[in-house]
Amino acid sequence: MIAFLSETYGNRELIWALALKELRVRYKRSILGFVWALLNPLLTMLVMTIVFGNLLRFSLPHYSIFLLSMLLPWTFFAQSLAYSVESIVGNGELLKKVRVSRLVFPVAALISNVINFLLSIVPLLLLIVVMRFPVHWTWIYLPIPMIGLFLFTLGAAFFFATVNVFYRDVSHIIQVILQVWFYVSPIIYSVDFVPQRYRWLFRLNPLLYVLNGFRLSIYYGLLPSLSSMSLSLGLGVVALGIGFSVFRRYEKSFVYYV
């Protein structure tokens, strides 16, 4: 853990530059530029609200906010993973030219998505204001699931980026996994819709606690239980621990497979 923090800190300028470069390149040549970071979730939310919101309108008032509260962190997770899986392989040429800290690439991929995520909160706020939805005091809790989310995502990023170097299928498999994971997580629907006997399955989803943290504070104005809070953070720490150790173990050989 300490090795991770010190090496990341030592490379902070490079990581930041790479993250910004990632964003700049993503939106270059486009007229709207980074505004897409805001528009994307809004448009997705719009489509989903029309499709699913009309079915669930009765039990879930202000469906768009219900949806967005989990959709935004989910999008962060899914996009971060998609970008970081390829982060080592994609920078293969660089690894062969210069000595560089390997962890820089997945971390930069994550940071660029963190920025995207934070930007995407703006339309959520706008929506809340427009719909006269209350901003609950529980928003204060948000840093905790955010940190938990970032840690967990980073751990997953390290892990999959590593495996992808040796088995290139991983980047494709991830796409499929993310699709399934999306529908298995109560993002478009509420856990209440699931019959009791299947609820335990949902609790196996490590992202549940973090996502719930977001929805509870933003939509319901409630705080999650203490166990949920600790799981949010704990799972993140564990994921990072595992992910980073795997990464560390194989990072020296990346250059030969890339």
Partner 1 sequence: MYSIEFQDVVQRFRRIRERPDTLREVFAKITRYKKKFQVFEAVRHVSFKVSKGEMVGLIGRNGSGKSTILKIVAGVYTPSQGEVTVRGSIAPLIELGAGFHHELTGRENIFINGLLLGLTKRQIKEREERIIEFAELGDFIDSPVKQYSSGMYMRLGFSVATEVDPDILIIDEILGVGDAGFQQKCFDRIQRFRNLGKTILFVSHSTENVRSLCDRALLVHRGELILDGPPDDVIARYEQILKIVQPVGK
Binding residues for partner 1, rule: CB under 8 A, are: 13-14, 17-18, 21, 24-25, 28-29, 94-100, 252, 255-256
92 or 241: whose CB is closer to partner 1?
92
169 or 192: whose CB is closer to partner 1?
169
Minimum distance from CB of 253 to partner 1 (Å)? 9
How far, in Å, CA of 44 to CA of 49, rounded?
8
Minimum distance from CB of 18 to partner 1 (Å)? 7
Burial (CB count <10 Å: 0-12, 13-18, 19+), residue 167: exposed
Minimum distance from CB of 17 to partner 1 (Å)? 5
How far, in Å, CA of 68 to CA of 214, rounded?
10
- Within 10 angstroms of residue 204's Cβ, the number of other Cβ atoms is 8
Minimum distance from CB of 245 to partner 1 (Å)? 19
108 or 240: whose CB is closer to partner 1?
108
Residues listed for the chain: 258
Minimum distance from CB of 258 to partner 1 (Å)? 11
95 or 170: whose CB is closer to partner 1?
95
Q: In terms of Cα–Cα distance, which of 150, 136, 142 is closest to 221?
A: 136
How far, in Å, CA of 41 to CA of 54, rounded?
19
Phi, psi of 187 (to 5 degrees): -85, -50
166 or 183: whose CB is closer to partner 1?
166
Minimum distance from CB of 12 to partner 1 (Å)? 10
Q: Which two tokens stand for residue 252?
A: 């020296």
132 or 252: whose CB is closer to partner 1?
252
SS3 for 39-106 is: HHHHHHHHHHHHHHHHHHCCCCCCHHHHHHHHHHHHHHHHHHHHHHHCHHHHCHHHHCCCCCCCCHHH
